Amino acid sequence: MYDWDDKPELNITPLVDVMLVLLAILMVIAPNIVYEENIKLPQGSISKQLSKIPPVHITIDKDLKLMVNKEIFDINSFGDNFYLYSRKLDLKATVLISADKSLDYGVVMSVLAAVKQSGFSEVSLATNG
């Protein structure tokens, strides 16, 4: 005779075993899954490569001999001559002014003013140390 009042029992141990095996497989494989989507990026507004601009070296010795990149200039007409010379140069270049420490402050500042008026924005005064 069959007893209709018996409650059926579910055995979930095999289900848990299968789920743990699947979880272990997923954990081993997951770091190796690489999702890649090909995206074509738009072209930017600046397409040329940045190039290294050579600096402009200006040296003034104690005898007021003024040189710009190995070319000699007269100190009295430096403003106009450097303006014409600077048309051949890149105005984004760094200008490095090296002056003898015995020179008058006004001489160095007049050279600095001529360089600024020619359109250079990055001007440095060289020091020893």
pLDDT for the residue 45: 64
Q: What is the mean pLDDT of residues 114-129?
A: 87
Does the pLDDT at position 99 exceed 70? yes
The answer to whether the beta carbons of residues 58 and 68 sit under 8 Å apart is yes
pLDDT for the residue 129: 60
Q: Which CATH class is domain 56-125?
A: alpha beta
Q: Which residues contact 96 (CB under 8 A, 6 or more apart)?
A: 55, 56, 57, 58, 124, 126
Domain ranges of the chain: 56-125
Q: pLDDT grade, residue 115 (50/70/90)?
A: very high
Cα–Cα nearest to 81, from 93, 92, 71, 73: 73
What are the pLDDT digits (tens) for 9-60?
A: 888 999 999 999 999 999 999 888 877 777 777 776 665 555 688 889 999 9
What are the pLDDT digits (tens) for 58-90?
A: 999 888 889 999 889 998 889 889 999 989 888
The answer to whether the beta carbons of residues 66 and 60 sit under 8 Å apart is yes
pTM of the predicted structure, to 2 decimals: 0.58
